[in-house]
Structure 1
Amino acid sequence: MADENPSILSHVSIGTNNFDRARDFYDRVLPTLGCKRVMEHPGAVAYGKLYPEFWVQTPIDGKAAAVGNGTHFGFVAPSKEAVHAFYDAAIAAGARGDGAPGPREEYGAPYYGCFLRDLDGHKIEAAFWDFSMQV
């Protein structure tokens, strides 16, 4: 059976200390990339296109959530316009910009993306890869 899923990860989870606020933030931001809420449990919500790929939850061990230094979560954007929509929606929902939409020479010509800090301080990214630009 051929592998039809291009992803290498099943899912990722991030912690939050304010579940309702984090859920509301991602409810506003992820639809810009064609994602939707696909599952919810008390204190946990999952987003994806077909299945739960990105979870936001209060830590299961009951301790405070903390942001990982050097950790960030990159979402696939279907276009440059979607990168801008993601960035604008996140800023409007209270995120802090950490790299405006645009190309990044160090990532190569096909890359176009943006970076932000969500309401808990997690670094998030939306990236469009235009492989038609490769020579």
Structure 2
Amino acid sequence: MPPLSPSVMSHVSLGTNDFARAKAFYDAVLATLQIRCVMEHPGAAAYGREFPEFWVQQPFDGGPAQTANGVHFAFLAQSAEEVRAFHATALALGARDDGPPGPRPLYGPPYYGAYVRDLDGHKIEAMYWDESAA
């Protein structure tokens, strides 16, 4: 049996109602975290550092994409600077602020994050675990 992966997830997908606009948004925003589009199909793009972990796509059933209350996706940043760049780039491209960059002591002293709502209203986050703040 192969060794267990440190990750517990294969991938996550978010729906979009305007694929071209969402792809341009995620290409730019995720680049701030050293994440790139690693796979693309008509109406769907997958992002990761090495393999497809985060998908943006038109809903498979052809219905409208919708957001879910209480759901968000957090991307791992390599520094607080990346978190700030993620947030600034997202806002510059039309995202809505949902929590500016900064420490989140409720989640532990090392937690530094920022939240936005993407162009379809999905809540996304960039977070950095700063061991020097522990």
SS at match of 2:113: strand
Distance (whole Å) between structure 2 residues aligned to residue 30 and residue 64 of structure 1: 24
- Aligned residue in 2 for 1:2: 3
SS at match of 1:7: coil
Number of aligned residue pairs: 133
Letter in 2 for 1:10: S
1:58 Cα offset (Å): 0.3
1:132 Cα offset (Å): 3.8
- Aligned residue in 2 for 1:84: 84
Counting only pairs closer than 5 Å after superposition, residues 1-135 of structure 1 correspond to structure 2 as: 1-3=2-4, 5-134=5-134
SS at match of 2:32: helix
TM-score normalised per structure 1: 0.95
Distance (whole Å) between structure 2 residues aligned to residue 124 and residue 63 of structure 1: 22
Q: Over the residues paired in the alignment, what is the CA RMSD in angstroms?
A: 1.0
Q: Could you list the runs of 5+ residues in structure 1 that have no partner in the other structure? A: none
1:8 Cα offset (Å): 1.6
TM-score normalised per structure 2: 0.95
Q: Could you list the runs of 5+ residues in structure 2 that have no partner in the other structure? A: none
Deviations 1:63-86 (A, max 9, x none): 111001110000000000000010
Distance (whole Å) between structure 1 residues aligned to residue 7 and residue 126 of structure 2: 15
